[in-house]
Structure 1
Amino acid sequence: METTKKSNQNKLINAGLAIVAPLPSILFYLAFLHNYTNPNHCLSSLWSWCYNHPVLLTFVLFFLNINVLFWTIAQLQSSHWMIHPYWPAVPIMIVYYYATHPTGNYNPWRSKMVIILTSIWSLRLSHNYFRRENWQWGSKEDWRFTDLGHQYGANWWWISFFTIYFSQQIFLMGVTLPYYIIHTIEAPWSIWDFVATAMCLTGIIVAYFADTQLHEFRTMNAKLEASGKSVIPILNAHLWQYSRHPNYFGEQLWWWGLGIFAWSLGQGWAFIGAFVNTLCLAYVTTLVEERMLKQPFRAEVYREYQKTTPVWIPWFKSSSLKETKDKTI
Structure 2
Amino acid sequence: MLTVFLQASLIILMAVTLLWIVSVVITNVSIVDIFWGFAYVVVNAFYFFSLEEWHTRNMLLFVLVTAWGLRLTFYLAQRNWGQEEDFRYREFRKKYGEKRYWWISYFQTFLLQGVLVLLISLPLLAAHYKTQNPHLNWADYLGIFFWLIGFLFEAGGDYQLLRFKRNPANKGKVLNTGFWKYTRHPNYFGDAAVWWAYGLFSIAAGGYWQIIGSVLMTLLLLKVSGVALLEKTLTETKPQYRDYIRKTSSFIPWFPKK
Q: Normalising by the residue count of structure 2, what TM-score does the alignment of the two structures yield?
A: 0.90
Is 1:215 aligned to residue 162 of structure 2? yes
Q: Give a deviation string over 1:181-226, Cα, whole Å, max 9, x none.
A: 1222232111211111121122111111111111111112x2x3xx
Measured in 2, the distance between the counterparts of 1:78 and 1:249 equals 32
Q: Normalising by the residue count of structure 1, what TM-score does the alignment of the two structures yield?
A: 0.72
Measured in 2, the distance between the counterparts of 1:68 and 1:123 equals 21
8 Å Cα contact 1:178/1:270 also seen in 2: yes
- CA, structure 1 residues 113+254, in 2 after alignment: closer, same or farther (shift >3 Å)? same
2:232 corresponds in structure 1 to 290
2:26 corresponds in structure 1 to 77
- CA, structure 1 residues 52+315, in 2 after alignment: closer, same or farther (shift >3 Å)? closer
Measured in 1, the distance between the counterparts of 2:16 and 2:42 equals 15
2:187 corresponds in structure 1 to 247
8 Å Cα contact 1:84/1:142 also seen in 2: no
Measured in 2, the distance between the counterparts of 1:216 and 1:52 equals 44
2:37 corresponds in structure 1 to 88
- CA, structure 1 residues 166+116, in 2 after alignment: closer, same or farther (shift >3 Å)? same
8 Å Cα contact 1:240/1:246 also seen in 2: yes
Is 1:140 aligned to residue 84 of structure 2? yes
CA deviation after TM superposition for structure 1 residue 58, in Å: 0.9
3-state SS, counterpart of residue 183 of structure 1: helix
Amino acid in structure 2 at the alignment position of 1:237: T
CA deviation after TM superposition for structure 1 residue 105, in Å: 5.5
8 Å Cα contact 2:56/2:136 also seen in 1: yes
Correspondences of 1:96-135 after superposition (within 5 Å) = 96-101=45-50, 104=51, 107-133=54-80
3-state SS, counterpart of residue 243 of structure 1: coil
Equivalent residue in structure 1 for 2:107, among 148, 162, 168: 162
8 Å Cα contact 1:105/1:184 also seen in 2: no
3-state SS, counterpart of residue 79 of structure 1: coil
Amino acid in structure 1 at the alignment position of 2:205: L
Amino acid in structure 1 at the alignment position of 2:191: E
Amino acid in structure 1 at the alignment position of 2:217: N
8 Å Cα contact 2:30/2:89 also seen in 1: no
CA deviation after TM superposition for structure 1 residue 109, in Å: 0.9
Identity %: 26
Correspondences of 1:168-247 after superposition (within 5 Å) = 168-186=113-131, 187-220=134-167, 222=168, 224=169, 231=171, 233-247=173-187
- Misfit runs of 4+, over 6 Å: none
CA deviation after TM superposition for structure 1 residue 255, in Å: 0.6
1:314 corresponds in structure 2 to 253
Q: Which is higher, the Rg of structure 1 or of structure 2?
A: 1
The worse-fitting range, judged by mean Cα deviation, of 74-83 and 206-215 is 74-83
3-state SS, counterpart of residue 86 of structure 1: helix
* CA RMSD between the two structures: 2.0
Measured in 2, the distance between the counterparts of 1:105 and 1:252 equals 30
Measured in 2, the distance between the counterparts of 1:293 and 1:310 equals 15
Measured in 1, the distance between the counterparts of 2:104 and 2:46 equals 30
Amino acid in structure 2 at the alignment position of 1:286: A
Structure 2: stretches of 5+ with no match in the other structure:
none
3-state SS, counterpart of residue 310 of structure 1: coil
1:278 corresponds in structure 2 to 218
Structure 1: stretches of 5+ with no match in the other structure:
1-50, 225-229, 321-329
